Amino acid sequence: MLSGLVDPAGRRISYLRVSVTDRCDMRCTYCMSERMTFLPRADVLDFEELLRLCQVFVKHGVKRLRITGGEPLVRRDIGPFFETLGQWLHHPEQAGSLDELTLTTNGSRLALYAETLFRAGVRRVNVSLDTLDEERFASITRRGKLAATLDGIKAARDVGMAVRVNAVAMAGVNDDEFDAMLAWCGEIGADLCLIETMPMGDTGEDRTARYLPLSEVKADLARRWTLEPLADRSGGPARYMRVAETGQRIGFITPMSHNFCSTCNRVRLSCTGQLYTCLGHEDGVDLRAILRSGGDDAAILAGIQAAIDRKPTGHDFMLGAKPGEVSGPVRHMSVTGG
C-alpha cells in the first residue's frame, strides 16, 4: 500500500461502494420514481474507467469493494467486470489487494450470475427483499417478481455464498412481517438486516409517513425471540445480534434514529464518476472529469483525497421533508447496502 486515505476525523477509508449503473428493473417506492429518466450512456463510466478508479482506491488502502446500482446485474458484461476485480483478492504481496468483493442486488438476475460471481471470488451477497408476500412485493417494487428474487437467493446459497436479506422497515407496509422473515431466513440459512427508511431522492412517495424507528422493532422482536448481542461487523453500518432460535444473525441499520457516523469508513462512487463521502451531503468530487481530461493516477488520487478531506463528521437527514422534496442529494445509487 502506497499510502492510506484518512479523513479529518481520523477515520481510515477502507470500504468503497461502486455504482456501475443507474438503471434498475424495479422501481421500489423508497428508492426510485415510477417514471425514471435514466442517464445517457455517454455519462456513465465504462468498465475500463471504473476499473482504473477502483485500482487507485485499492492501491491506497481500500480493502472492501461493494458493487451496487441501480441494479448492478442488469448491466451488460458485468460478469467479466467481476472477474477482473476478483483477480485483486488476497494478494498481500502486491501494492494493493482486496480482502473482500461483494455486491448488493435485488436478486432478479442473481440466479443467472451466481456461479460467475462465486468463481470471481464473491463469497457473500446482500439481497434487497422487503416482503415474502407476492402481491405486496409487486406493490413495493412496482414491477418486480418475487419468484425471481427467491430463485436468486436459492442459487446464491446453492453455490456457497452467504446471503444477507436487506429489508427496509416501513410502517403500515411490512411491519407485520418481521417475525415471518426472521423465521424464513433461519430456514434458508440467511441473515436478516432491517434498515430504517431514508429521505433520499425524489421517489414520488412521502417516506416520512412510513418511518419506523428500529429501536421499537428490536424491542418488539425481543419479546418473542432471544436476541444475543454480537460484536460482529461486516465493514458496513449494520449492528448485529444472534437469534438463538435460528442460529442466524439479525442486523439493524439506523441512519435516522441512531447514526453510525463515528465509525464510518466508507465512500461511494457513482456510475458517473462522482465521489461522495456521505449519503446525507451533496459535496463530492468529479473523478470522471479528471479521467476524461487525461489525468494520471496522481491526479485521480488528489481528487479522491480532496473529497475525503471534506468528509463530514455526520449526516443530517431531515425527517420533516415534504413529499417531492429531498433532504439529501438525488443520486442513482442503492441505499440498502452495508
Residue-wise pLDDT for 253-274, tens only, equals 986 555 557 678 899 999 999 9
Q: What is the DSSP letter of 6?
A: B
Residue 318, pLDDT score: 44
Rounded Cα distance between 52 and 291, Å, is: 9
Instruction: Give alpha helix (H) positions in the chain.
Output: 47-59, 78-86, 110-120, 134-141, 146-159, 178-188, 214-221, 287-292, 297-308
Sheet holding 64-68, edge to edge: 227-229, 239-243, 249-253, 191-196, 162-169, 124-128, 100-105, 64-68, 15-19, 266-269, 274-276, 284-286
Of 66, 26, 39, the residue nearest 203 (C-alpha): 26
Choose among 327, 114, 294: nearest CA to 211.
Answer: 327
In this prediction, the residues of the chain whose per-residue pLDDT falls under 50 are 1, 203, 318-335
- How far is 17 from 126, CA to CA, in rounded Å? 13
Contacts of 49 (CB under 8 A, 6+ apart): 273, 288, 291
CA dihedral sign, ordered 253, 118, 52, 47: negative
Which pTM does this prediction carry?
A: 0.88
Which pLDDT score, from 0 to 100, does residue 327 have? 35
Q: Dig out the grid coordinates for 50 from the structure.
A: 471504473
